[in-house]
Structure 1
Amino acid sequence: MVIVVEPLVVLIVACEIGFWVVLGAGLLARYVLRMPRLGAVLLVCTPVVDVVLLVATVFDLRSGGEATSVHGLAAIYLGVSVAFGHSMLRWADQRVAHRFAGGPPPVKPPKHGPAKVRHEWREWGKFAVAWAIACSVMLFLMYVVGTPERTQALWGQMTGMTLVGGIWLVGWPVYHTVTELAKGGLSGRTREKVGDKGE
């Protein structure tokens, strides 16, 4: 039995590996080799991986291919990478700085209280950004293809991502907000800060 792997799937995996390789190289240069400028340049280059994937996805469809779930996966990857990329960089930076540069211990997510509520809304907000980017890219890909019959898979991907967002919304930020309200843990001022994106 011969297993055929689509080139775009290989590229998505390569982009994910490339992201962590560039990130690792940037942190290595910054903290271990003591070359902060080179480290900064490498870290800034991480979005290039997303651009490569987007161009390859558009090119693949422009060549006459049918939009499949793989193209939708590429769009979702782009959205998640953009929305959560900064958080992943900060997560890795804190740990490498603590391990190799005597930095403070990594900040852990709050487990309860108003801080937990703010954290959950902030994380879901990132998902909402990822959803908006991914759906925008998929709509753009539909425009590129130009034939509704060849883009059905993308509609399915958009629906699936929306369902995930709804479950996340109810199961985490809404749940923790209601729980804290029931315990009287959210003051009027705290409620106003629940959706604060600046934290």
Structure 2
Amino acid sequence: MTGWQHFTFDSLPVSPWRNGGGETREIISYPPGKSDFDWRISIATVAQDGPFSAFPGIDRSITLLSGDGVYLQALPDIDHALTVTGEPFSFSGDIALSARLTGGVTTDFNVMTRRTVCAARVVPVRESLYFSLEKGGVIYVISGIWQRQDGTLIRAGEGYYWSEPAEHRRESLTLKPVEQVDGCLLLWASMIAPEHVSVP
């Protein structure tokens, strides 16, 4: 099947933060090679307390993947404990947050979208998932083993990404958990038209 690409956490390029507080592994940035992206999805490793940079005009979603999590603050607008694995939290990138670790090193799934172009829907999935690849997005397995419709197995730390396919190409993907549902969790992030969602 064309239009989507497999990746693993370990295969993603690593970019250390300039402040030494962590690193980012980019999954996809669209359009490719442009610094003023329409949307970008990555995994961040947070190793110490520190600020999150502001991104004017960008909406953000962050989801805990592993570790004890972080407290996100930008009073009076935001005071949020990101401590439950697989629960997305959305906020405006116009706000510069401070992040405080609740324990040790943590990893987070990050989605950024340019507000005037698109928005993101980020959904935790524990049961079977069927979706179209007509818009861009990423799936990423947090835990358990999942199976594609062709029998391929996908494990924790693996996923697929796709950008908007050609207009004539409408592909789909089906995933189902192989283990008990309680032990399987993945994230599905998809791009949608900006008027379909609002970011608090």
Normalising by the residue count of structure 2, what TM-score does the alignment of the two structures yield? 0.24
Structure with higher Rg: it is 1
Normalising by the residue count of structure 1, what TM-score does the alignment of the two structures yield? 0.24
